[in-house]
Chain A
Amino acid sequence: DAKTTQPPSMDCAEGRAANLPCNHSTISGNEYVYWYRQIHSQGPQYIIHGLKNNETNEMASLIITEDRKSSTLILPHATLRDTAVYYCIARITGANSKLTFGKGITLSVRP
């Protein structure tokens, strides 16, 4: 699986959009970009995933650059409950279906 790199931390104000960056410059054509988050003392929670098109669901939007070397997870109106560690994962399709987590980015939403 392609290695992803994320800044260690960021913060944003409650009610504002949180834009979480991820670099995956070695991603291959058959690797999806997955985002999970982990709120303190809980299991990881699936957020969204995409291959090359931008994706949106009730939780977030995922913007993938045209060259697929980076992506941004957007939480449109961050709340205090969005404070968590966010993991960006490049996951290959096919037989190797495990997730390879890095250290993620810690998002702190301030009141």
Chain B
Amino acid sequence: GAGVSQTPSNKVTEKGKYVELRCDPISGHTALYWYRQSLGQGPEFLIYFQGTGAADDSGLPNDRFFAVRPEGSVSTLKIQRTERGDSAVYLCASSLWEQETQYFGPGTRLLVL
């Protein structure tokens, strides 16, 4: 079946702009996770949703980052007033339930100029 998909695959923006990154989880998966990966590092947790609610947002670096999942399926990660340090690969993962195996999408490569 279809895996986790993320759009866009690449995003180039200018410092100070607003960006939205989209994640389509595997159909039927109730848990959805966002991670961020900087060059040469492993992915770092940002936030996870169980259904429509954010169950743990402790990894969000600051209040410029926000994520929603209004209908319990698709999620959008929103970054306001982007900074060059936000440049990274943003990964989304989903799992059937919150304790089950997580399956990752291909990521969105964000470059802030």
Which residues of A are in contact with B by a Cβ distance under 8 Å? Answer: 34, 36, 42-46, 49, 85, 87, 93-104
Contacts and interface: CB of A to CB of B under 8 A. Distances in A.
Interface string B67-107: 00000000000000000000000010101001101111111
A44 B99 contact: no
B102 A46 contact: yes
Given A97-B99, A98-B33, A104-B42, A45 B48 contact: no
Interface residues of B, number: 26
B79 to A, nearest CB: 19
B105 A87 contact: no
B31 to A, nearest CB: 7
Main secondary structure of the interface of A (DSSP, over half): loop
Contacts, number: 54
Contact of A103 (B42, B55, B103): B42
B105 A43 contact: yes
Nearest to B109: A41
B44 interface: yes
Contact of B103 (A46, A87, A104): A46
B45 A98 contact: yes
